[in-house]
Amino acid sequence: MCPGTGSQMENHTHSLPSLSPIHSPNNPSKALSPSLPQPSATAPASLSLSSPSLPLFSPFHSLQTSGGLNSHCLSPSTPSDQDDLTCLNWLQQKNILPLSKMLSFSQFDAPPISSLPSSLTKPPYSFSSLIFMAIEDSPDKKLPVRGIYEWIVSNFPYYKTAPSGWRNSVRHNLSLSKSFRRIQRDKSQSIGKGSLWCVCTEYRPALLEVLKKIHYCHSNNSSLLNNPVLLEAADHGQNAMCDSLAISDLDSNNPTLSSSSPCSLIPEHEELVAIQSVDLTEETESEKDPLADSGYIEFHYYQCEQYQYLVLPGNSDLDLETVEILQLDAEAQEAAGSLLDLAGGNH
DNA sequence: TACCTGATAAACATTT
DNA sequence: TAAATGTTTATCAGGT
């Protein structure tokens, strides 16, 4: 199934592959070059991240992952990271991600209601992506074929009425794709037919990248990564609204962003973000509480006039790419309708 | 046009 | 034995 993994039940303690899938030529994050274009007037003018009606696919509505975040996104920077054009360590160094200027999630993620596909419209996701989301949404990160069917049907009503050939396609994908790995069930506890299927750890970034591409293709807004305001901030290493703002600033009684913008910062949300990479070993994850010892970090985001800010703890290793992947992860979770469930630790 | 990828269909073997 | 599951092959469509 998975090249280099030997038998199916071997532990997967290997390191993740390089970031190359994430940095495909099609990836707009290429735009985050040190030699960035100058800002233009094309930056989004209105933002609604913290609006009461967060969109269905707003990841920060309940941003949380099920513990399978890529470790490559979370590892401390390496020299190669620094050389990477997509490296945005300046953001984490500041501990502030000016959301409204870089991540207009609500309009970035959610297509207009009128353009949302109906339940009878075939989802834009490939079968690999559907399988990936299904498995990722399962508590143990492994599902039988039937469980994958059920997840797809329950989350994409199109398949309730679609000709049954799609099930064949699911099985075909599972067998053919290197991204998925078959796990023999414990014979003594085997209930039902067949094996369990999980996602090969080394292919997870690529699967996320596929989701990312779908995400971009089906967003009618330009990529956040091309946002000239963000690019300017990255280029100059400062932002008029967020420069020098740190957690301590928020904890103090002086939440002023700057002398020129004496507005108060109102905490809008508090979220939990899972940042720990979880090995897909069979024994450990099945009994793991997704919230216990999970490496979750807490972040806050704030709204100040038309600007919104994501404030990360000082030692967090999130970069923009990580935030994006978190976003995609969250989308997958929301597609599963289980984000709140997971966030509540109901497993 | 060639190539790649994904979807679909079908045949067949295996397992429960 | 039937149904579900898993594998393999072939074909087609769409994109690059």
Is it the case that residue A8 has pLDDT exceeding 70? no
Class of domain A115-218: mainly alpha
CA of A228 to C1' of C7 (A): 50
Nucleotides of C under 7 A from a protein CB: 3-10
Q: How many Å separate Cα A214 from the centre of its chain? A: 13
Whole-number Å distance, CA A200 to C1' B15?
24
Q: Please give the Cα distance from A339 to A52 (Å, whole number).
A: 18
Q: What's the CA–C1' distance between A266 and C8, in Å?
A: 59
Please check the confidence at residue A84 and state whether its pLDDT lies above 50. no
* Structure confidence by residue, pLDDT tens digits, A117-161: 456 778 888 999 999 999 998 998 899 999 999 999 998 989 988
At A69 the pLDDT is 31
- Do residues A117 and A159 lie in contact, with contact meaning Cβ atoms separated by under 8 Å? no
Return the domain boundaries, chain A. 50-111+222-347, 115-218
Task: Give the pLDDT confidence of A132-141 residue by residue, as tens digits.
Answer: 999 998 998 8
Nucleotides of B under 7 A from a protein CB: 6-11, 15-16
Q: Give the dihedral sign, CA A107/A113/A114/A116.
A: positive
pLDDT(A331) > 90: no
Q: Give the tokens for residue A125.
A: 């996701």
Do A32 and A231 meet the contact criterion of CB atoms below 8 Å apart?
Answer: yes
The CB density around residue A310, as the number of other CB atoms within 10 Å, is: 26
Nucleotide nearest to A122 (CA to C1'): B7
Q: How confident is the model at residue A168 (pLDDT cuts 50, 70, 90)?
A: very high
CA dist A163 → A109, A121, A152 (Å)? 30, 13, 14
Q: Is A325 helix (H, G, I), strand (E, B) or coil?
A: helix
A236 touches strand C (CB under 7 A): no
DSSP tag of A247? H
The distance (Å) linking the CA of A196 with the C1' of B4 is 30
pLDDT of res. A121: 79
Number of CB atoms found within 10 A of residue A300's CB: 17
Q: Distance from residue A148 (CA) to nucleotide B16 (C1'), in Å?
A: 19
Q: How many CB atoms lie within 10 A of CB A44?
A: 17
Residue whose CA lies closest to nucleotide C16 C1':
A26
Strand C contact with A182 (CB < 7 A): yes
Query: What percent of chain A clears pLDDT 70, i.e. is strictly above it?
Result: 25
pLDDT at res. A190 = 53
